[in-house]
Structure 1
Amino acid sequence: MSVFQTYLQLGFFHIFNLQAYDHLVFLLALCAPYVLREWRRVVALVTGFTLGHSLTLALATLGVVVFPAAVIEALIPVTILLTCVFNLIQAPRGPRRNDTRRPAPVWLAWPNLLAVVFGLIHGLGFSSYLRGLLGATSRPVLELLAFNVGVELGQLLIVLLILLVGFVVVRGFRAAPRDWVMVVTGIAAGVAAVLLLGQLNA
């Protein structure tokens, strides 16, 4: 197996793994307000998140930026909690009528900007794991690229599963979209609160 394939698999299984449940919970909160037909917006969100974490992952792995691991581990649940707050603010309250306003372009919407900013924080979290794998590698450009691609593939698969579950719950079980958003957001917020308290008490 080539170096690229090795780090591609490492990136994929690092995100698509219960040990990375903090990142999984963030993706759950990020995708909660959206339904399957809005998959393009979700892909845009995840891509923004990937751009953010790819930048800080590279900078931290190469030693350009250094942050205390404890601070990053505390900030990750904060990003989840903030995402949950925004979900609650924009949770649908029923069908809108006579709303002729054109939606803002996807690339200008605030959720995309937040995804990029929060991705910067999560990338620093990924870097601790990747630095442990690289050891003494001095210029791991290929490894960084492969790892990022693997993480992105894992994220897209997770997002697809979340959207499919949401589709089944809302369409199959006739749940109200607001109820789906509120329940999922509540679960994500609860997990994030436990994570944050654990970090603060560590």
Structure 2
Amino acid sequence: MPFSDFMFYFELGWSHIVSLEALDHQLFILALVAIYTTKQIKQILILVTAFTLGHSATLALSVLDIIRFDSKWVEFLIPCTIFITALVNLFKNGKRSKNVQVNYFLALFFGLIHGMGFANSVRMMLAKDQYIGWGLFGFNLGLEVGQIVFVALTLLISSVVLYFFKIRQRDWVIFLSSAVFALALQMALQRVPF
């Protein structure tokens, strides 16, 4: 695969998280990492990578035409994963779960759902390419790098708010999670498929 093709897919994955049209993806990452601080960077990176793995698996299965889902349901389920994640944060009262493996499983499972959302548009591009594996790798690498940059910015903003404005972490988590919950619930209601 020519390097320019790899970069095309890398940029496609990158824009899937950092573009203005990626609000649902950004909200999910925000809800996912809202309960963490820079001290838990290893846990955060594992969570984000678990999400990418789920996203990648569904995307690969879809591109290879092994699975297909009704896009109306997928577009409805994506904001549902976001408000569920935010709701879990609210019920934890701003505290991290002692069982972080549950968070990893949820990130992986919700990644499967999010991967279906982008699968239809990427399927056509990748299915025509004889280097499907490299295209998927480029896309997923771009997605992962974009997520890490978004996580870094989120943690930076959170650190500034917590340190300079002296806001308690619990209050910040509740504020972020409530805002994400409200936006995601509105998205879900707008996308009800029935």
TM-score by length of 2: 0.92
Match of 1:38 in 2: 40
Q: Identity over the aligned pairs, expressed in percent?
A: 39
CA distance in 1, matches of 2:191, 2:4: 37
- 1:48 maps to a residue whose letter is A
Measure, in 2, the Cα distance between the counterparts of 1:200 and 1:29.
Answer: 21
Shift of 1:86: 1.0
2:31 alignment partner in structure 1: 29
Matched residue SS, 1:2: helix
Cα distance in 2, alignment partners of residues 16 and 129 from structure 1: 17
Contact 2:58 2:115 (8 Å CA) reproduced: yes
1:151 equivalenced with 2:153 (yes/no): no
Determine the C-alpha separation between the residues in 2 that align with 1:135 and 1:110. Answer: 34
1:91 and 1:152 mapped to 2: Cα distance? Answer: 29
Equivalent runs, 1:4-153 vs 2, <5 Å: 4-92=6-94, 109-134=101-126, 136-137=128-129, 140-153=132-145
Aligned-partner residue type, residue 79 of structure 1: T
- SS of 1:200's equivalent? coil
Offset of 1:62 from its aligned partner?
Answer: 1.4
- Of 170, 174, 191 in structure 1, the residue corresponding to residue 166 of structure 2 is 174
The corresponding residue for 2:182 is 190
Asked whether the 8 Å contact 1:32–1:181 carries over to 2, the reply is yes
CA drift of 1:37 comes to 1.2
1:93-133 Cα shifts (integer Å, max 9, x gaps): 7xxxxxxxxx65x5xx2111100010110111121231243
Root-mean-square deviation (Å):
1.7
**Is there any run of 5+ residues in structure 1 with no aligned partner, and where?**
94-102
Moved more, 1-10 or 150-159: 1-10
TM-score if structure 1 supplies the norm length?
A: 0.88
Name the CA distance, whole Å, in 2 between partners of 1:198 and 1:19.
16
Contact 1:33 1:91 in 2 (8 A): no
SS class of match (1:86)? helix
Look at both structures and tell me which one has the larger radius of gyration over its CA atoms: 1
Distance 1:139 1:65 in 2: 20
Q: C-alpha separation between the residues in 2 aligned to 1:119 and 1:137?
A: 24
Q: Which moved more, 1:52-61 or 1:124-133?
A: 124-133
Which consecutive unaligned segments of at least 5 residues does structure 2 have?
Answer: none
